[in-house]
Chains A and B, each alone.
Chain A
Amino acid sequence: MNWGWIPANLPALIEATIDHIVLTAIAVGVGFAISLALAILIHRDRRAFGPVSAFTGLLYTIPSLALFAFLVPITGLSLLTAEIGLISYTLLILVRNIVAGFDSVPAEVSETAAGMGYTWAERLWRVELPIAMPLIVAGLRIATITTIGLVMVTALIGEGGLGQVMLRGFNFRNWVAVYTGAALTLALAIAADVALVAIGRLATPWATRRAS
């Protein structure tokens, strides 16, 4: 084991970690935006739930390698190819959790909000979304951790962040590189989860307080 490999490749490791974070952030960010729009559509008209659910479910069942193999001839070995795949896998989890969040708003709260003269949009942004927040954050945690793992797979199409470090490690029998890549990915997943829990707590002080 050549542990000296780590300090010698520190700049490359940092770059790979940043790549990994960026790939994950783009996937979860764009995935969340699309999912929120779909969830609001379902919230407005429940009949949209079946088709949206079927479509995102279908995307989720496609094995990741198969999806990339299908996309490469169209979009090439590119960031776009990687992100299309990564975003697709966040949709099912996020849409379901955001819809569950909207459903968790008590009927009497929506009714009094309407009765007091909230417009539809005011009700959505100021009442329903904040109350849905705990379930939305729960969805974001699962989506983020899943994506951090999936980003590794995109190493096969030339992206991959820390996945690249591991892939090269395998190719050159450099086990230090393999372990380092794996350890950093794990650390990233734990850090992201802890951060999301903290953000969730800050965003929902009302959910954690109990009768004094």
Chain B
Amino acid sequence: MPDHHAATVEFDHVTKVYDPAALAKGVPGAVNDLCLSVPAGRICVLVGPSGCGKTTSLKMVNRLIEPSGGRILLDGVDAATRDVTELRRGIGYVIQQVGLFPHLTIEENVATVPRLLGWPTGRRHERAAELLSLVGLEPATYARRYPVQLSGGERQRVGVARALAADPPIMLMDEPFGAVDPIVRARLQDEFLRLQEDLAKTILFVTHDVDEAIKMGDLVAVMESGGRLAQFGPPAEILAHPASDFVARFVGADRGLKRLSLSRVGDVPLRNPVSARPGDDASAARGRMRADPFPFLLLVDAEDRPIGWLDQDEIPMSGQLEAASAIAMSPLLDRRTTLKDALSMLLDADVQAGIVVDRHGAVRGLLTVDDIAERMRAGPEPASEATAR
């Protein structure tokens, strides 16, 4: 492997036919003339209904399945020309059932490929500890345990750590978070995306879950039965402009809503609420309110942290503003919250606007339901969103 952390992966007219006789009778093959090009360092999600050939496509990259036709180029080199053992040791592989070795400790599991590559014991030990920490498992606690002693979520993390052990430029992940409950899955997805910001591996990721595809993918390849590529592009583009009825049906009728999960609160221009501090002069505040269409005054403390709202009609004609008269708070939104989650929080709280705060809790702006709806109607921004990660 060349000495860098990512490689391009290119499917060049790749076909897989298990039964040539059936093909002659018109039964489609497993993968049909697949052409895809994944830039180095990106996550490409293969998504589609079962039997669409997504797993077969993945397994042709590390040659667990050999293509019937076409080529798979890794950094421009045809995988078929490489020594299969050496090829596989340079590609991380994670599957849904994880497949940890039950007879090896967690540390030995993680250090599997380094051992095959003949790393000395000390270096393997260090690398295993480093990776366990990376995936959020304390090495002192976990290194000497056996897989049977771990929860499902912990095993999935070990599976990811094991695949990363020899720092492969390419990772193949086949429903890697499919066997855990939705809450753990969401956390593993978030953690993995955070890891990927630093690792920048080239990742092929298989799932049947459209939401996971949209969340994880820089690029999404929608496949349909018979192993045909229905559409390939950034998630925002697929949601905004499905290439066919199949894609539109597959991504779902709520694709407008799904697009909201691609943008974060920080991506939207925020409104600046009229704000004041308790003790400020009430009539001056009233004056400032008249210039703003939003009918509430935001009270903040000395550190700009929100206290509550004052209805403009409730502001006294004179005297000072009082914290006690402020009414219930809107939901507090983080700049990293997705618009989908933000909308859901606003609707749950039955309010029109949420206050966006920074890490210290200080007010950064205001986001309204209308702002979000506007965003949903607006055209896609494929370029910026595809490169957002």
B116 with A209: CB separation less than 8 A: no
CA distance A113 to B109 in the complex (A): 11
CA distance A108 to B64 in the complex (A): 13
Binds B, one of A117-125, A138-146, A182-190: A117-125
Interface residue ranges of B36-68 to A (CB < 8 Å): 59, 62, 64
Chain A residues with CB below 8 A from B87, complex form: 117
Chain A residues with CB below 8 A from B101, complex form: 109, 113, 127, 131
Residue from A108, A116, A204 within 8 A of B103 (CB atoms): A204
Residue total for A at the interface (Cβ-Cβ under 8 A): 25
Residue from A109, A111, A115, A117 within 8 A of B102 (CB atoms): A109
Task: Indicate if A61 sits at the interface (CB-CB under 8 A).
Answer: no
For chain A, what secondary structure do more than half of its interface residues adopt (helix, strand, loop), or is it mixed?
Answer: helix
Task: Indicate if A106 sits at the interface (CB-CB under 8 A).
Answer: yes
Task: Indicate if B88 sits at the interface (CB-CB under 8 A).
Answer: yes
B85 with A130: CB separation less than 8 A: no
Residue from B85, B104, B162 within 8 A of A117 (CB atoms): B85
Residue from A117, A118, A211 within 8 A of B148 (CB atoms): A211
How does the 8 Å CB contact mask read for B93-114 relative to A, with 1 for contact and 0 for none? 1010111111111000000110
CA distance A205 to B146 in the complex (A): 9
CA distance A53 to B259 in the complex (A): 60
Task: Indicate if B89 sits at the interface (CB-CB under 8 A).
Answer: yes
CA distance A209 to B106 in the complex (A): 13
Chain A residues with CB below 8 A from B93, complex form: 112, 115-116
Chain B residues with CB below 8 A from A130, complex form: 103
Chain B residues with CB below 8 A from A173, complex form: none
B148 with A206: CB separation less than 8 A: yes
A111/B148 contact (C-beta < 8 A), A116-B88, A130-B103 known: no
- Nearest Cβ on chain B to A73's Cβ, whole angstroms: 48
Chain B's closest residue to A130 (CB) is B103
A206/B103 contact (C-beta < 8 A), A115-B93, A116-B113, A212-B149 known: yes
Chain B residues with CB below 8 A from A127, complex form: 101, 103
A106 with B103: CB separation less than 8 A: no
A211/B97 contact (C-beta < 8 A), A109-B102, A116-B116, A117-B113 known: no
Task: Indicate if B86 sits at the interface (CB-CB under 8 A).
Answer: yes
Chain B's closest residue to A134 (CB) is B103
Interface residue ranges of A197-212 to B (CB < 8 Å): 204-207, 209-212
B103 with A131: CB separation less than 8 A: yes
CA distance A211 to B162 in the complex (A): 21
Task: Indicate if A54 sits at the interface (CB-CB under 8 A).
Answer: no
A119 with B64: CB separation less than 8 A: no
Chain B residues with CB below 8 A from A109, complex form: 99-102
A106/B97 contact (C-beta < 8 A), A119-B85, A122-B116, A131-B102 known: yes
B102 with A118: CB separation less than 8 A: no
Chain A's closest residue to B117 (CB) is A117
CA distance A115 to B105 in the complex (A): 20
Interface residue ranges of A67-121 to B (CB < 8 Å): 106, 108-109, 111-119
A117/B103 contact (C-beta < 8 A), A111-B64, A122-B116 known: no
Known: A112-B93, A206-B147, A207-B102. 19 other contacts (CB 8 A): A106-B97, A106-B102, A108-B97, A109-B102, A111-B95, A111-B99, A113-B99, A115-B62, A115-B88, A115-B95, A116-B89, A116-B93, A116-B113, A116-B162, A117-B86, A118-B85, A131-B102, A204-B103, A210-B149
Q: Which 7 A-B pairs have the closest CB atoms?
A: A112-B99, A117-B88, A117-B89, A108-B99, A108-B97, A115-B93, A206-B146
Chain A interface residues (CB < 8 Å from chain B): 106, 108-109, 111-119, 122, 127, 130-131, 133, 204-207, 209-212
| A–B Cβ pairs within 8 angstroms, 26 of them | A108-B98, A111-B64, A112-B98, A112-B99, A113-B99, A113-B101, A115-B64, A115-B91, A115-B93, A115-B95, A116-B89, A116-B113, A117-B113, A117-B116, A119-B85, A122-B116, A127-B101, A130-B103, A131-B102, A133-B103, A206-B102, A206-B103, A209-B148, A210-B148, A210-B149, A211-B148
Chain B interface residues (CB < 8 Å from chain A): 59, 62, 64, 85-91, 93, 95, 97-105, 112-113, 116, 146-150, 162, 172
